[in-house]
Chain A
Amino acid sequence: MSSSDGPVASTGAQLSRWFREGDAGLITAVMIGIYVLFTIFAILSPSQGLGGIVATLQAVTFWTALYAMLVLALNLHWGYTGLFNIGVAGFMAVGVYTFAALTAPTTGSPPGLGLPLWVGIVGGMLVAALAGALIALPALRLRADYLAIVTVAFSEIVRLSLLSTSLQEFTLFSSIGFIPDLTLGSGSGQGINMPINPTIPVKSLFYTNPTNPANGEITGLGETVFSLFATIGVRETVVVSIGYTLLLLAFVALFYWLLRRIGNSPFGRVLKAIREDELVANSLGKDTRMFKIKVFMVGCALMGLGGILWETQKGFTDPTSTTFRPIQTFYIFIALIIGGAGSNTGSVFGGALFASLLFQGPLFVSRIFSKFIELGDAPSTFAGAVAPALSLNFAPAAAYTLKNIPSLRFVLVGLVLVVLMQNRPTGLLGHRKEVAASIDLSERDGRTGDAAGKPAADGGQMPDGVRSESDSASGGERDD
C-alpha cells in the first residue's frame, strides 16, 4: 500500500498530476486572472499606492476563501447528495453562537464559559452537527422543495430566537442544588463580544498581547514582518489580515481535501446514487436514511466551522448581521450554482467568481467611475435624480446610479441566476463527472501488469481515482 519511493516523492507526483489534470490548474488560473483584474482596479481607484493594491488583493482573497469554504460545505449537501438545504445561515449562526457561549469571558456581558479557542471551535461544530441531526430526522424524507422550506424556516427560527430578549441572559441549573449555576446569554440585539477568536493565533505571532495589542508590544517576528511590508506601504492591520487570510486558505484546502475523500469513496458513491435515484440505492441494500443523516451532519458541522471563521474574526457579533439572514444562504447558493453543483472544483471556482466579480467587483467599478468622472453630489432619492433628467441633465441620475451600485449588483446577481437556470442549470462548469471511487476503476490488476507497479499512485494520501473530464468512453484512460 505505501509507496516504496517514500512519501515526499509520492506527494510530489500526486501534486504534479493534480495540476496537470486541470482542477488545481483551473483554480490557479482563475485566481491569477482575478488578481490581475483587481490590481487594475486598485491602480485605477482613488490612489493608495502599492499598499492599496496589496490591501485590495488581500480583501478579495479573504472573501474568496470564506465563500469557497461555505460553498464546499453546501456542495456536500446539494451537489453530492441532492439535499436542498437553504438554511446555511442558520447553521453558521449556531456555530458562531455556540463558539461565543463557550469562549466569551465569564465577566463579559453577556457572559460565556471562558473556555479556550479550540474548545469553542470543536463545540461550535458539534452543536451545528447536532442541529443538523435535529432537522434531518424529520425532514430528510421530504421532497427537495419542502426540505428547502423547512431549512429556511429553521434558519429564521434560529435568528429570531437570537434576537429575542428572552434569551439575552439566562441562568441554567439554578434550581438544581448540586450543579453550579451557569449564566449564559445571547446578548440579543446588543450582540456578544468574542475577544478569543481565530485571529488570536495569528495575532500572537505579531503581538505579545494578542487580545489587546495596544497593551503589549510587537514581537520580534512582528517587527521584521511589519517593517518588511512597510517598505511597500502596507499597513500593520493589513499585514495581520494577510496572516488571517492565509489561515483561511489553509482551511479551504482542508475542506477541499476532506470533501474529495468523502466523494471519492464507496460512501461518496452511495451519495451520488441517492441524488440520482434514492429508490435504486435502497433497492441495492443501502440504508439511505443513515447516509443522508450522516452527510447532513458533516455538512452542517462544516457550515458551523465556516461561520465561526467568517464571523468571529470581527471580535463581535449580533443577530442582525447579514451573515445570519436567509439572503446570505442565497448568496452562497448562487456561488455554488455559478460554479457547478456536484464538483468541488466548481465550488471553489464559483466562490471565487461570486466573491470577486459579483460581490466586490461592482464596488470597485463604482469607485473608479466616481474618481474619473466628476458627477457632483448624488441625490438621495430616485425622484431627485430623475427630475433633472427631464430637462436633459443626466449627471445627477448617473451619480445616483453609481451611489446605488451596492443595490444594483444584486439585481445583476438575480439576473445572472435566472439566465443560468434557463440555459445552463448545472452551472458554468457543468456537472463535473468525478468518478466516485477511491481507486482508478478503469484499471485491472494483472491486465497490463502495470497495475501492481504503480507505487506513486497507490501510496500516499491522495486518491487516484480522480478524473477531470470523463465524458467519452474510449477504453481506459489511465492516470500515469
Chain B
Amino acid sequence: MVADWRVSIVERPKTALFGLFLVGLAVDLVLKLFGVQLTLGSANLLGGSLGLGRLITLVWDGIVIGLGIGLAGIGLSMTYSILSFANFAHGDYITSGAFAGWAVAWLVAGFGSGQLDGNVLYLATVGFGPTGPSPADLAINTIKTPIAVFGGLLVAVLATIALTLVIDRFIFKPMRNQGGITTLIASIGVALALRYLIVFVFGASNRGLTGGSPKLILAAVDGQFALANKRSTIILAQNGNAPTDVFYWLFPVVDIGSYSTELLSVTGAELTIVATSLALMYGLHVTLQRTKLGKAMRAMADNEDLARVTGIPTERVVRATWIIGGGLSGAAGYLIALERGTLAFNLGWLLLLLIFAAVILGGIGSIYGAMVGGILIGLTNSVSLVWIPSSFSTAAAFVIMILVLVIRPDGLFGGVTTA
C-alpha cells in the first residue's frame, strides 16, 4: 500500500505536486484559524489569523454559488458528452431562463400587490415604467411571496426547455453530422443572437429584483450556539441583554466556554437556492438510477465508444438531454439571479467559463461530476479570498481549470463509470 503510494508520486509528479500544494493550504488554514503565525526571520511563512466566522461564511458562499454553477453545468456536461460539442450558447440559455422566470415572478407579485394596472408590459420585461413599481414595492422574497418565487422558477424551467428544444430542432439538429468544432462555432453564433435579442427586449441595464431578504444568523454567544434574524439581537445577547420580543433561539446542551462570535449569516434567497438545487439534483439522481431513460443515458455516458459504434444517439436520448439540461440551466439562472438580487443580460455569459471549469473539473459527461465540480469551483472562488485579493478569485478558478486540462483532462469522474 505504501509502496503503491510512492509509485504514484513518481509516475504522476504534477498531480503529486498539486496535492502537496493543497496540503500546504490546508495547514496554513488551520494555523490561521488558531491565530498562529510561523515566521522565518522577518518573512511570514505560514499562518496568520482568520476568524472562524469568516471561514464559515466563505465556505457557505462557495457552496451557494457552487450549487448554482453545478446545476447549470449538468446540462453543459451532458450536451458535451452525448452530442459531442461544447455549447457556448449555454450561458445564454441560463440568462434566458432567468429573464423568463423573473418576468413571471414580477407579474405575479404585481398582481398580488395590486400594482398590475398599466404596468403589465413593464413587469413582463423585468423593468419599470415611468410610474411603475420598484423592486422594493414588489417586495419579492421567498417567505413573503412564495407563489411569485416558485411560479417564476417553474416558468424559468419550462421556458428554457422550450427554447433549447427549438434551438436544437432548427439549428443543431441539421448539423448533427458535422464536426464538434463546426457546431461549437455555430453555438457561438446562437449565443450572440440570443444575448442581443435579450438586450433588445429587456434592455442592457442591471436591474434589482428583490426588495431585501430575510436573514438567519448563527452565532456563538457565551459558549452557546444561537439563532436570530437580526444582528442587533446577537449583539445585545452577547452583551448579556438578550431581547425578548424578537426571534432569538439558543441551542440547548452545547456549551463551550465563553466563546462569542458571529459565525454565519444566510439570506432567504441563499437558502432557497441551496434547498432547490439540492432537491433538483436529488430528483435527477433518482431519475438516473430508477427510470429506464435514466439508465439509457447512463449507458450512453459510460460506454461512449459502444454508443458511437451503434451510431448516432437516438433522438429520444438527445431530447431528454436537452430537456434535463435546459430545464436545469433555466432553474440555475433564475436562482442565481434570486440570490444576487440583480439581473443583467450577460449573467450567463459571465458565468460560462466558470461553468466550463466546473464541468471539466468534474469530468465531461459525468452528471455527478458536474455537481461536485460546481461546488469545488464555487469553493475555490470564495475560499481563495483567504489568500488572494478578490479581483483574482475568478482567475484562480480559471487557473484550476487550466491545470486540470493539462494534468488530467478527464477530470475527477470522467472516464469512470458513472452518469
Contact = CB atoms under 8 A, between A and B. Distances in A.
Interface stretch (B32-40, B124-132, B269-277): B124-132
B405 interface: yes
A378 interface: no
Interface stretch (B62-70, B182-190, B315-323): B182-190
Nearest to B204: A407
Nearest to B191: A414
Interface in B120-140: 121-122, 124-125, 127, 129
Contact of B181 (A145, A154, A164): A145
Given A156-B395, A381-B122, A84 B181 contact: yes
B188 A149 contact: no
A382 B181 CA distance: 36
Interface stretch (A123-131, A255-263, A418-426): A418-426
A382 B201 contact: yes
Contacts of B122: 381, 383
A156 B353 contact: yes
A148 B86 contact: yes
B175 A422 contact: yes
Given A157-B398, A421-B186, A425-B182, A408 B192 contact: no
B175 to A, nearest CB: 6
Interface in B156-179: 171, 174-175, 178
A152 B405 CA distance: 13
Contacts of A416: 189
Interface in A122-152: 138-139, 142, 144-146, 148-150, 152
Contact of A421 (B129, B183, B204, B409): B183
Contacts of A415: 189, 193
Which of B85, B200, B399 has the most C-beta atoms of chain A within 10 angstroms of its own C-beta? B200
A12 interface: no
B248 interface: no
B224 interface: no
B392 A166 contact: yes
Nearest to A401: B200
A357 interface: no
Interface in B382-412: 389, 391-392, 394-395, 398-399, 401-402, 405-406, 409
B16 interface: no
A407 B86 contact: no
Contacts of B200: 382, 404, 407-408, 411
Most buried by B among A165, A386, A408, A425: A425
Contacts of A166: 389, 391-392
At the interface, is chain B mostly helix, strand, loop or mixed?
Answer: helix
A44 interface: no
B372 to A, nearest CB: 19
A250 interface: no
A428 interface: no
B150 interface: no
A305 interface: no
Contacts of B402: 138-139, 150, 153-154
B182 to A, nearest CB: 5
Nearest to A419: B189
B395 A414 contact: no
B151 interface: no
Contacts of A411: 192-193, 196-197, 200
Interface string A378-390: 0001111011000
What size tier do the contact residues of chain A reach? 35 or more
Interface string A142-184: 1011101110111011001101111000000000000000000
A421 B395 contact: no
B360 A383 contact: no
Contact of A413 (B171, B192, B395): B192
B294 interface: no
A142 B357 CA distance: 15
A410 interface: yes
A330 interface: yes
A160 B392 contact: yes
Contacts of A418: 171, 186, 189-190, 193
A300 interface: no
A381 B125 contact: yes
B203 interface: yes
Contacts of A154: 398, 402
B199 interface: yes
A194 to B, nearest CB: 23
A382 B203 CA distance: 7
Nearest to B185: A421
Given A157-B395, A157-B399, A417 B184 contact: no
Interface in B202-217: 202-204
A337 interface: yes
A411 B85 CA distance: 22
Contacts of B204: 407
B356 interface: yes
A383 B129 contact: yes
Interface string A358-384: 000000000000000000000001111
Given A160-B391, A382-B201, A145 B124 contact: no
A414 B192 CA distance: 5
Contact of B353 (A142, A145, A152, A421): A152
Given A160-B395, A381-B127, A414 B196 contact: yes
B194 interface: yes
Contacts of B192: 330, 410-411, 413-414, 417
Given A166-B391, A382-B200, A149 B360 contact: yes
Contact of A149 (B190, B196, B401): B401
Contacts of A157: 395, 398-399
Contacts of B268: none
Nearest to A387: B121
The 6 tightest CB contacts between A and B, nearest first, are A417-B189, A414-B193, A414-B192, A164-B391, A383-B121, A421-B186
Given A149-B356, A383-B129, A404-B200, 8 more contacts: A164-B389, A166-B391, A330-B188, A330-B192, A334-B188, A414-B188, A414-B189, A418-B189
Interface of A: 84, 138-139, 142, 144-146, 148-150, 152-154, 156-157, 160-161, 163-166, 330, 333-334, 337, 381-384, 386-387, 404, 407-408, 410-411, 413-418, 420-422, 425
29 contacts: A142-B405, A149-B356, A149-B360, A153-B353, A153-B402, A156-B353, A157-B398, A160-B395, A165-B391, A166-B391, A333-B188, A382-B202, A383-B129, A384-B121, A407-B204, A408-B196, A410-B196, A414-B189, A414-B190, A414-B191, A414-B196, A415-B189, A417-B192, A418-B171, A418-B190, A421-B182, A422-B171, A422-B178, A425-B178
